[in-house]
């Protein structure tokens, strides 16, 4: 039995049971919307991946810097005979074993007697300094060839300054060291800039 279509006002009316396919325009619109949604989704995913990589890089930089500062803080806290110098490069003075303040800041080098050091041996002083863009430590009073880096190469230290008060014995001031650090590090998507301060009080009472 044949099906017939009727017309109302010049428009065909499909009889019940007939199927109508998508037109080319409808398909193009659907594909365009899908492409836009996918483009937005992929862009958001890439941005999330980049942000995560940047966060991990910053976290790695700060972990390295914090590890160096924690090591310095522990050594300074149990050390004695703080000696602050305004020059970070050789020739180092022969008076590193003599207590000396940098109350107004400007200290570029800090020497101290370690917890297990010999107070009668001026050649076993622990020395911290900024050399170029890296923090360095010497366990032999800053002798040539004894400095080793304690920060990673990707961490660039632009400014490192000591404030030292109460270093001389009997001045009625408990020895205290304030470290101020400014620097930067290259991370995915640019460069991160950081500023860190750490304050350390000598454990041995100055009385």
pLDDT tens digits, residue range 40-59? 888 888 878 777 777 787 78
- Closest by CA to 158, choosing from 128, 126, 135, 188, is 135
**Radius of gyration of the CA atoms of the chain, in A:** 34
pLDDT for residue 109: 92
pTM for the full predicted model: 0.74
If pLDDT is split at 50, 70 and 90, which confidence band does 138 have? very high
- Pair 166, 174: CB distance under 8 Å: yes
User: Residue 162 corresponds to which tokens in the numbers above?
Assistant: 């000591």
């Amino acid at each position: 039995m044949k099906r017939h279509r009727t017309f109302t006002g010049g428009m065909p009316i499909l009889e019940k049971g007939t199927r109508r396919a998508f037109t080319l325009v409808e398909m193009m619109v659907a594909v365009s919307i899908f492409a836009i949604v996918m483009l937005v989704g992929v862009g958001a995913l890439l941005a999330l991946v980049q942000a995560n990589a940047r966060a991990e890089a910053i976290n790695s930089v700060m972990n390295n810097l914090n590890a160096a500062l924690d090591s310095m803080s522990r050594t300074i806290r149990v050390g004695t005979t703080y000696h602050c110098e305004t020059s970070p490069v050789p020739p180092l003075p022969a008076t590193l074993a003599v207590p000396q303040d940098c109350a107004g800041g400007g200290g570029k080098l800090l020497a101290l007697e370690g917890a297990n050091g010999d107070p009668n041996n001026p050649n076993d002083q622990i020395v911290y300094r900024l050399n170029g863009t890296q923090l360095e430590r010497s366990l032999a009073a800053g002798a040539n060839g004894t400095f080793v880096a304690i920060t990673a190469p990707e961490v660039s230290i632009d400014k490192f300054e000591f404030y030292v008060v109460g270093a001389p014995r009997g001045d009625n001031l408990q020895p205290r060291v304030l470290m101020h650090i400014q620097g930067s590090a290259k991370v995915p998507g640019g460069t991160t800039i950081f500023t860190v301060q750490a304050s350390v009080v000598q454990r041995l009472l100055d009385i």
